[in-house]
A and B are shown apart, each in its own frame.
Chain A
Amino acid sequence: MTGDPFLRLVEVTRRFGDRAAVDRVSLDVAEGEVVALLGASGCGKTTLLRLIAGLETPDEGEVWVARRRVAAEGRNLVAPFARSVGFVFQDLALWPHLTVAGNLDFVLGAARLRKRDRGARISETLRLVRAEAFAHKYPGQLSGGEQQRAAIARALVARPRLLLLDEPMSSLDAELKADLLRELSALLQMLNVTTIHVTHDRSETVGFARRVVLMRAGSVVQTGTAESLRPLLRGETC
């Protein structure tokens, strides 16, 4: 990696009671890089993602996003909405009372984009993720794959500099998952968005993430390509 990393975690720790969900994790991610956080359920991947987004506060350590220190000394220094982060949640968390376009419009309104510019941005983003056809539908009216596309569109519409994916494909069948990952990979390359993709499924990392970070019991145990970590991943548990 050359120059300052875009995302930097320095000895980040988050405890719930006596248990350290994230234990002195350090990680550097370059701008535009796609990194997969891999590990079994409960090993701290999601907590780490939430610490980066600012939805959790680290007990110790520092978090830097876009070369800005956003959390340190046991508190968040920058609010989540000011970190230029797009987040796709595991359950997608599409707002049920708003249409797909309404979901995107909320984000753009919060980003203070002028009303007259929002329509074009929404259309453009929905086109990018091939979701124009259901722009005016409510989340409850969409299939699983369509909801996935809507959630990705919402995360990207404000053109965040960092995209956080929290196992968003876990509920999809293998074929649909592979299709979506292929499309998403091309899209992220085109937009040059730094991405952290949390997953417990090694197949999701192949061809998608340049680097794989293996986590176990709240700690990073290995970093490398999916291929190089293959022996370690056999029989992997948290």
Chain B
Amino acid sequence: MTTATHNAASLRRVLTWPSARAATLCLAAALFVVFCVLPIIYMFGISLSDANGSLSTGNYRRLLTEPRQRELLLTSTLLGTGAALLATALGAPFGLLLARAPLPAKRLLRVTLAVPLVVPPYVLALAWILLTGPAGILARVLGHDLLSEWTYSLTGAVVVLGLGFYPLSMLATEAAARRVDGRLEEAALVAARPRRVLRRITLPLIAPTVAAAALVIVVFALSEFGVPGLLRVRVFTTEVFTAFAALYDFGAGVALATPLLAVALMAGVAVKLMTGERLLATRRAAHPGLQLSLRHPWRVPVLLALAFVAFTSIIVPLAALAVEAGGVGRIASAVRASGAAIANSLWLAAVGATLVVALAVVLGYGRARARTRFRGLVDLAFIIIFAVPSTVVGIGIIGLWNRPGLPGDVYTSSAIIVVAYLARFVPVAALILAAGVRQVPASFEEAAEVAGAGWPRTFTRIVLPNMRASVAAAWVVAFIFAFGELGATILVAPPGESTLPFRVYTLIANTPPSEVAALALVQVGILLAPLSLLGLFARGDAGRGGER
């Protein structure tokens, strides 16, 4: 090869590899900053200014001095910690059992127990209101109101959120238990009884993940808007909404959002510290370790506990919705009346999920292949942004996009709802996809590079086909989240634009319960379809990795 040809080849390699990759990553990073980071930075900036726009710590002073704020802080804290404790108490043992015990129909059981995760929490709250509210099914059957005081209370909200979020703890615990190297447990089994091995080896090894999942649940519960809103529990998220949507007090809304931002930041740091690189670890241990036997006398109580939780968290709410909705005719009529909102929700969620995945797949690739020591900060950014409550994101988007020109055109169209989906769900999709990229050996890309393929070709022809399952899973997760999104949508949706959750939430106050129940049931039905798809992907993975 002549020097000139060699130089030309080198130049082409430089242009097609590092620069093409860098340009794509930079573009993705820029879009990530615009859609996900700026609304939150904007909120932080606003929280440090007064009504005239001057620098001020007034919002924070009010936060520390006003009794109302302290009361909100106490209620929010109790709601978050209570829900996390209940969810962990239920989910962690179930996760351990799914990973290590010979349960009957394990795949079906896993998918069934995961159902509450795809049902929007406000739908669960609605179902419990329809069942135990003052004019609910129980009150009608018994002839008097028995449980409504309990339903419309902090305890009721804790129970609903705990039952809604326990699958998060369950799935995280199961994944952590499957990742524990079986050799570590076998080394202990040679010396100790299984119970001691479980207590001293297995549980400490999975404890950081269980704790991180609990913390994520605290943040989710604190960020939740629909459940406290419906159950009339005053917490920061509902007050943010009231201040902004009802009282048009932007400053108050920002001040009320401040503690939520602080909690999201602290929780993000804590989760990252607890999980480290395990956040992206998906590989199961090569050797199965300690197996929990479900012999007499444990088998029956364990199966009863699983059945009871499935009954309380899934069957009871869905049955309440079904009973209240009435027959198929009523459901069909409700669907006809809200057809536009349903169609709107479906296409917005589909477009949103597709754009979320398109951006997240590049970000996830960048994160997975990053060799810088600052890569932990990227995880941290993903976690914190995902933890920011929906109503706070909504206000940030309004502040940022409600201005003349192109942003204004987007703001006044339904595209702003897709912007909200991007702002909320790109980080979680990026984490899922980063884990997917990690499973594609870097040597695959190196082999393509050596063969002379440019980076775009390598990425689309080598990397993406090898992570199809992760891409599909990320899309399904993004779709589920987007289809159930309420907190940000309710704030940013332009007049006349409505999604299904938005419509259900606004119909609750002035529409017969049967129509609301029918719509909620339709929403659950639509969301269960992607869960089944997720179950199929899980089955594919289990088939390769071996179900245990």
A residues with a Cβ closer than 8 A to B are 53-55, 79-81, 83, 85-87, 89, 91, 93-97, 106-107, 109-111, 154, 158
Q: Which of B91-99, B185-193, B227-235, B344-352 contacts A (4 or more CB under 8 A)?
A: B185-193
Chain A to chain B: the 10 pairs with minimum beta-carbon distance, closest first = A110-B192, A93-B183, A93-B187, A107-B191, A87-B190, A110-B191, A97-B204, A80-B190, A80-B189, A93-B184
A-B contact pairs, 9 of them (CB 8 A): A54-B190, A55-B189, A89-B183, A89-B186, A89-B187, A95-B184, A110-B188, A110-B191, A154-B187
A68-B189 Cα distance, complex, nearest whole Å: 19
Given contacts A91-B183, A93-B184, A95-B184, are A106 and B190 in contact (CB under 8 A)? no
Q: Is B201 an interface residue (CB 8 A)?
A: yes
A142-B187 Cα distance, complex, nearest whole Å: 19
Given contacts A87-B187, A95-B187, A97-B204, are A106 and B192 in contact (CB under 8 A)? yes
Inter-chain contacts of B205 with A (CB < 8 A): 95-97
Q: Are A93's CB and B186's CB within 8 A?
A: yes
Task: Write the chain A residue with the least CB distance to B183.
Answer: A93
Inter-chain contacts of B204 with A (CB < 8 A): 97
A158-B187 Cα distance, complex, nearest whole Å: 13
Q: Are B187's CB and A53's CB within 8 A?
A: no
A80-B291 Cα distance, complex, nearest whole Å: 14
From B183, B186, B188, B193, A106 is in contact (CB under 8 Å) with: B188
A144-B205 Cα distance, complex, nearest whole Å: 22
Inter-chain contacts of A97 with B (CB < 8 A): 204-205
From B184, B192, B201, A81 is in contact (CB under 8 Å) with: B192
Q: Is B548 an interface residue (CB 8 A)?
A: no
List 14 additional A-B contacts (Cβ < 8 Å) besides A109-B200, A111-B191. A80-B186, A80-B190, A81-B191, A83-B190, A85-B190, A87-B186, A89-B187, A93-B181, A93-B184, A95-B205, A106-B201, A107-B191, A107-B192, A158-B191
Inter-chain contacts of A87 with B (CB < 8 A): 186-187, 190
For B191, B192, B193, which residue has the most chain A Cβ atoms within 10 angstroms? B191
A165-B187 Cα distance, complex, nearest whole Å: 12
Q: Is B196 an interface residue (CB 8 A)?
A: yes
Q: Are B190's CB and A53's CB within 8 A?
A: yes
Chain B 151-195 near chain A by CB (<8 Å), digits 1 or 0: 000000000000000000000000000000101101111111100
Q: Separation in Å of the A118 CB from the closest CB of chain B?
A: 13
Inter-chain contacts of A89 with B (CB < 8 A): 183, 186-187
Q: Are A55's CB and B192's CB within 8 A?
A: no
Inter-chain contacts of A111 with B (CB < 8 A): 191
Task: Write the chain B residue with the least CB distance to A108.
Answer: B191
Q: Separation in Å of the B285 CB from the closest CB of chain A?
A: 11
Q: Are A86's CB and B190's CB within 8 A?
A: yes
Inter-chain contacts of A85 with B (CB < 8 A): 190
Number of interface residues, chain B, beta carbon within 8 A: 16
A220-B191 Cα distance, complex, nearest whole Å: 28
A87-B187 Cα distance, complex, nearest whole Å: 7
Inter-chain contacts of A81 with B (CB < 8 A): 189-193
Q: Separation in Å of the A91 CB from the closest CB of chain B?
A: 6
Given contacts A95-B201, A97-B204, A106-B188, are A79 and B193 in contact (CB under 8 A)? yes
Chain B 449-477 near chain A by CB (<8 Å), digits 1 or 0: 00000000000000000000000000000
A57-B517 Cα distance, complex, nearest whole Å: 55
Q: Separation in Å of the B189 CB from the closest CB of chain A?
A: 5
Task: Write the chain B residue with the least CB distance to A55.
Answer: B186
For B181, B192, B204, which residue has the most chain A Cβ atoms within 10 angstroms? B192
A97-B196 Cα distance, complex, nearest whole Å: 15
A221-B291 Cα distance, complex, nearest whole Å: 34
Inter-chain contacts of A83 with B (CB < 8 A): 190
A11-B192 Cα distance, complex, nearest whole Å: 28
Inter-chain contacts of A158 with B (CB < 8 A): 191
A111-B187 Cα distance, complex, nearest whole Å: 14
A106-B201 Cα distance, complex, nearest whole Å: 9
Q: Separation in Å of the B197 CB from the closest CB of chain A?
A: 8
A54-B187 Cα distance, complex, nearest whole Å: 12
Inter-chain contacts of A154 with B (CB < 8 A): 187
A97-B205 Cα distance, complex, nearest whole Å: 7
A154-B205 Cα distance, complex, nearest whole Å: 19
Q: Separation in Å of the A145 CB from the closest CB of chain B?
A: 19
Q: Separation in Å of the B131 CB from the closest CB of chain A?
A: 44
A106-B199 Cα distance, complex, nearest whole Å: 11
Inter-chain contacts of A54 with B (CB < 8 A): 190
A86-B186 Cα distance, complex, nearest whole Å: 11
Task: Write the chain B residue with the least CB distance to A166.
Answer: B183
Inter-chain contacts of B193 with A (CB < 8 A): 79, 81, 110
Inter-chain contacts of A110 with B (CB < 8 A): 188, 191-193, 196
Inter-chain contacts of A55 with B (CB < 8 A): 186, 189-190
Inter-chain contacts of B191 with A (CB < 8 A): 81, 106-107, 110-111, 158
Task: Write the chain B residue with the least CB distance to A83.
Answer: B190
A85-B191 Cα distance, complex, nearest whole Å: 8
A111-B192 Cα distance, complex, nearest whole Å: 7
Inter-chain contacts of B186 with A (CB < 8 A): 55, 80, 87, 89, 93
Q: Separation in Å of the A85 CB from the closest CB of chain B?
A: 6
A52-B371 Cα distance, complex, nearest whole Å: 44
Inter-chain contacts of B187 with A (CB < 8 A): 87, 89, 93-95, 154
Inter-chain contacts of A107 with B (CB < 8 A): 191-192
Q: Separation in Å of the A81 CB from the closest CB of chain B?
A: 5
Task: Write the chain A residue with the least CB distance to B186.
Answer: A55
A106-B184 Cα distance, complex, nearest whole Å: 12
Task: Write the chain A residue with the least CB distance to B185.
Answer: A93
Within 8 A of A (CB), among B242-277: none
Inter-chain contacts of B189 with A (CB < 8 A): 55, 80-81
Task: Write the chain A residue with the least CB distance to B192.
Answer: A110
Q: Separation in Å of the A95 CB from the closest CB of chain B?
A: 6
A14-B187 Cα distance, complex, nearest whole Å: 21
Q: Separation in Å of the A180 CB from the closest CB of chain B?
A: 19
Task: Write the chain A residue with the least CB distance to B196.
Answer: A110
A149-B196 Cα distance, complex, nearest whole Å: 24
Q: Are A106's CB and B200's CB within 8 A?
A: yes
Q: Separation in Å of the A83 CB from the closest CB of chain B?
A: 8
Within 8 A of A (CB), among B92-118: none
Q: Are B188's CB and A95's CB within 8 A?
A: yes
